[in-house]
Structure 1
Amino acid sequence: MNHLKFIPMSQKHAKTIATWTYPEPYSLYNMDDDEETIEELTEGSYYAALDEEEQLIGFICIGEAARVPGGYEAGIYNNEQQIDIGLGMRPDLTGNGQGGLFLKESLSFIRNLSNHSSLQLVVATFNERAMNGL
């Protein structure tokens, strides 16, 4: 995973991502592979991340799509100057030290896309694997 390419989410990639399953305790990141999920993934805030061989390795999302439940009540979405970002890697690629590079490539793409310098990524407190990758 040396250089990633980000493209607007396609139906094909959305359908694949919606079937990804993560082991406990990460199963809360599993999606329903129903029409509503596919529509959300393809509405314009999501991008598929492809490796050099054009293989789907993850996704990113920007704005409201990246906001997590409970975040509003916790007051973490009060700064309108920040752009919220979210990301997910293919389950078989998680936990093996590639998250830092994935995040770096994602941030570079988002900064070029949005022209914002203030980005916010919210990570669940139990997700030490993600925080250690940062």
Structure 2
Amino acid sequence: MRYSVEDEQMLVKEMDEKSAREILSWRYEQPYDLYNNEATEESLNELLDGSYKVVILHDGTVFGFFCTGKMAQVPAGHNFGAYNDNCVDVDLGMNPDYTGKGNGYTFCSFIIEFVARIFPNIPVRLTVATFNKRAIHLYEKLGFEKKNQFSNGSTEFITMLTVCQTPTD
């Protein structure tokens, strides 16, 4: 079955425990299994710390999530100066039922527009594992450019940066 959200209405809500537990149960296929989370109290508390939002489809389906700020950064990047510029860091994850099916542009555009409304005219920075060519291609399509590269010892990452303009209504 092809899940498409092209004509779906999405909305952002505060992360709640039910959504957080669902997100922690998501499983991605290799090589994207790096993004699988463990359902521990620590990971649950992180999702519920106030920096995470959940993206819901009109029928109540959890389509994805995102966070901004320090929680969106890979800690090792600080050792390489990857986060020295004044930017809004964004991390995001999409429900694996929807990945690889042409939904990324709609999902990411929605999140970037949401963030741009809260932080107008501040550059947005994403951090992505270099093996994730699918995400890198999508981010480039959205106007992001590669900036810094670093490693946490097991995975190579790049930061990608764009300047978001305040959307007009």
Shorter chain as denominator, the TM-score bin is over 0.9
Q: 2:54 aligned to 45, 48, 52, which one?
A: 48
Q: 2:88 aligned to 47, 66, 83, which one?
A: 83
Query: Aligned partners of 2:80, 2:33: CA distance in 1, in Å?
Result: 22
TM-score, normalized by length of structure 1?
0.92
Deviation at 1:51, TM superposition (A): 1.1
Any gaps of 5 or more consecutive residues in structure 1? none
Q: 2:136 aligned to 121, 131, 134, which one?
A: 131
Query: Aligned partners of 2:118, 2:9: CA distance in 1, in Å?
Result: 17
**Structure 2 matches for 1:1-134, cutoff 5 A?**
1=5, 2-79=8-85, 81-134=86-139
Query: Aligned partners of 1:9, 1:114: CA distance in 2, in Å?
Result: 20
Query: Aligned partners of 1:110, 1:127: CA distance in 2, in Å?
Result: 23
Query: Aligned partners of 2:73, 2:129: CA distance in 1, in Å?
Result: 12
| Greater percentage in strand | 2
Query: What's the secondary structure of 2:71's corresponding residue?
Result: helix
Cα deviation code 1:83-112 (max 9, x no counterpart):
100000011111111111111000111122
Query: What's the secondary structure of 2:108's corresponding residue?
Result: helix
Percent identity (aligned)? 37
Query: Aligned partners of 1:117, 1:55: CA distance in 2, in Å?
Result: 30
Deviation at 1:116, TM superposition (A): 5.0
Any gaps of 5 or more consecutive residues in structure 2? 140-169
With a CA cutoff of 8 Å and minimum separation of 6, indicate the structure with the bigger relative contact order: 1
Query: What's the secondary structure of 1:77's corresponding residue?
Result: coil
Query: Aligned partners of 1:132, 1:57: CA distance in 2, in Å?
Result: 21
Count residues in correspondence: 133
Query: What's the secondary structure of 1:31's corresponding residue?
Result: coil
